[in-house]
Amino acid sequence: MSDAASAEQITVYSDYVCPFCYLGRESLRQYQESREDELEIDWHPFDLRSGKRNPDGTIDHDVDDGKDDDYYEQAKENVRRLQERYDVEMDLDIATDVDSLPAQVASYYVREHYDYGTWLAFDVAIFDALWTEGEDIGDEAVLVELAAEAGVDGDEIRSALDDDALRGEVREQFTEAKQQGITGVPTFAYDGYGARGAVPPEQLKRLVEGN
């Protein structure tokens, strides 16, 4: 029920547990401030935990995905560097133990059944809850509360999280992202061109405006 088709859009592939997705969205927000016309987000979910996910959707944290302590330490350093660059306050550097699948299912439901403004408010609230408040966005109660603040009935979110068919649709979105060649997030796409990572606002401007 989105009204996004009537506005100019930038496609964004992201996962709520990705700190660079949070930072990339801040960069996009800063770029948006320089524009006269709103640039709406055509959001596509991506599963960073796919390599550790069991068939039932749970995560097996014992699976070796090649990301060792050195990898996470380097990631934290990069997060801190971008925090300073974009002047962003974050409670967490990395969220290794949080499962974003429930949040992505809830967000997908709201995107499909509500207007763009409602979805965006919910989407931003999920990001902020995790990265500035340190809340578990895999927790149903947290998502229900965030949804209510965005104007979505909590019972709808509870039903969405129990809907196997809806969860299957979200998994199809993950598959489609990979088929589109998306291997990491955030990835921004516009008019056949793309930019990967928490790129600065000026790079997003070049992506969209071509100068």
pLDDT tens per residue across all 211 residues of the chain: 544 456 799 999 999 999 999 999 999 999 999 999 989 999 999 999 898 888 888 888 788 777 778 888 999 999 999 999 999 999 988 888 899 999 999 999 999 999 999 999 999 999 999 999 999 999 999 999 999 999 999 999 999 999 999 999 999 999 999 999 999 999 999 999 999 999 999 999 999 998 6
Cis check: omega of the bond before 186, within 30 degrees of 0:
yes
Q: How many CB atoms lie within 10 A of CB 160?
A: 23
Domain 4-209, CATH among 1.25.40.10, 3.90.1150.10, 3.40.30.10, 3.30.470.10: 3.40.30.10
Cα–Cα–Cα angle for 79, 90, 41, nearest 5°? Answer: 80
Amino acid 160: pLDDT: 98
Closest CA to 14 of 5, 3, 26: 26
CA–CA separation, 127 and 149 (whole Å): 14
Structural domain spans, the chain:
4-209
Q: Report how far apart the first and last C-alpha atoms of the chain are (Å, whole number).
A: 33
SS3 sequence of the chain: CCCHHHCCEEEEEECCCCHHHHHHHHHHHHHHHCCCCCCEEEEEECCCCHHHECCCCCECCCCCCCCCHHHHHHHHHHHHHHHHHHCCCCCCCCCCCCCCHHHHHHHHHHHHHCCHHHHHHHHHHHHHHHHCCCCCCCCHHHHHHHHHHHCCCHHHHHHHHCCHHHHHHHHHHHHHHHHCCCCCCCEEEECCEEEECCCCHHHHHHHHHCC
pLDDT digits (tens, 9 = 90+) for 82-127: 999 999 999 988 888 899 999 999 999 999 999 999 999 999 999 9
Whether 50 and 43 have beta carbons less than 8 Å apart is answered as no
pLDDT of residue 211: 60
| Residue 2: CB atoms within 10 Å | 21
